[in-house]
Amino acid sequence: MSELGRLEDLPLSYRQGLTAHNLVPLWPSLRAALPHDIPTRRTRPVLWRYADVRPRLLEAGELTPIEKAERRVLVLANPGLGLENMQATPSIYIGLQLILPRETAPNHKHTPSAVRFVVEGAGGFTVVEGEKMPMEPGDLILTPSRLWHEHGHEGTGPVIWLDALDLPTVFALEASYCVDGRAQVARNQPDASQTLYRRSGLMPYRSLGASRGIYPLKRFPWKEVRAALESFAAVTNTGEAVQLAYINPETGDECLPVLGFSALMLRPGETLRPARRSASAVLHVVEGDGQAVIDGTELTWTASDTLAVPTHARVEIVNTSSRKPAFLFQVDDAPMQRKLGFYEVFD
């Protein structure tokens, strides 16, 4: 294959003429834009230790009143992507949010879609379009694009959750914006995970053949997910992934358009070597202790830690306990990659 021409190969006067007319030659940049066989990745395999984040988040609780923050969040920023860009991976925004007793994070709606995965505390809640959802540790709560949402705290002690958003993509599209609203009036009834969508395999009869694509289920209680993983593990060989995808119960599709969510269980002593794939991901430890090797970088994790996995990375995950299972929550951008037509699994 022949070498591509460089910018310096062109006469200065020609280059100046191009610049003056907002023109750029492709060939000097072609290989950077389209490298052979594997994308150029600036994303680093990073571990954010909860032991490092938690005290700083609690300190933010003392330094910054909620009124001065709207959302009191420390963002998990990947240093390979520039801390100021607030990207855990190229497509995934991750933050850890603190709310203290009686505080409210005011009602708003925006174009990026978000989810909350509860890390600790009791008494927190999110209201989405009038549906009030309790936030218990491990619960996943969706706040899809352009739906009103606000948070509150009726308990004692700090409540901390992980926010995952498709903000990097929406921002890159110059489509990210927010509208503030007045406090919602929550309906006085349990959320849909306890009522209309109480059990997988069942949905309200009236939904058959009705219009799809709304977000019928916005809360996935961890106690149900954990029990389902335990039952899945009982019929799965060691080394085969015990992994459940969070889906829209009416369509069977991923529950949000850009980011995908799943829960993973590692049996005591188990090692998983998932196939290399084109999606980037973030892993958050719900329970347990272990190690990960991501593109050769060794990381030791424990409960509530969070890891970044670049696209095309080689990954090994080990539960280092011989007695206890480990549980991980995964965010990835496979739904968007599938829609764009290039999602790949290698090996």
Which residues of this protein are in contact with ligand 1HN, per CB under 6 A?
71, 73, 95, 97, 105, 110, 112, 114, 149, 151, 163, 165, 167
Q: How far is the CB of 57 from ligand 1HN (least distance, A)?
A: 13
| Among the listed residues 236, 217, 218, 237, the one whose alpha carbon sits nearest the alpha carbon of residue 228 | 236
What 8-state DSSP symbol labels residue 280? -
Residue (150 or 270) nearer to ligand 1HN, CB: 150
User: Which residues partner with 328 through β-bridges?
Assistant: 264, 285
Rg over CA atoms, the chain: 22
Q: How far is the CB of 308 from ligand 1HN (least distance, A)?
A: 17
Q: How far is the CB of 111 from ligand 1HN (least distance, A)?
A: 10
Residue (98 or 315) nearer to ligand 1HN, CB: 98
Residue (165 or 265) nearer to ligand 1HN, CB: 165
Q: How far is the CB of 47 from ligand 1HN (least distance, A)?
A: 21
The whole-angstrom separation of Cα 263 and Cα 261 is 7
* Residue 6 burial by Cβ neighbours in a 10 Å radius (0-12, 13-18, 19+): exposed
Residue (28 or 123) nearer to ligand 1HN, CB: 123
Residue (165 or 264) nearer to ligand 1HN, CB: 165
Query: Which residue in this structure is represented by tokens 């988040």?
Result: 57
Residue (137 or 168) nearer to ligand 1HN, CB: 168
The whole-angstrom separation of Cα 319 and Cα 271 is 6
Instruction: Name the 3-class secondary structure at 248.
Output: coil
On the CB side of 19, CA atoms within 13 Å amount to 8
Residue (142 or 294) nearer to ligand 1HN, CB: 142
Q: How far is the CB of 292 from ligand 1HN (least distance, A)?
A: 26
Q: How far is the CB of 343 from ligand 1HN (least distance, A)?
A: 25
H or E element at residue 150: strand 149-153
Q: How far is the CB of 71 from ligand 1HN (least distance, A)?
A: 4
If one counts every other C-beta atom within 10 angstroms of the C-beta of residue 27, the result is 12
Using CA atoms, how far residue 12 sits from 8, 15, 17, 29, 290, in Å, is: 8, 5, 9, 17, 57
Contact (Cβ atoms closer than 8 angstroms) between residue 138 and residue 73: no
Buried b / exposed e over 151-171, threshold 16 CB at 10 Å, is bbbebeebbbbbbbbbbbbbb
Q: How far is the CB of 164 from ligand 1HN (least distance, A)?
A: 9
Residue (41 or 149) nearer to ligand 1HN, CB: 149
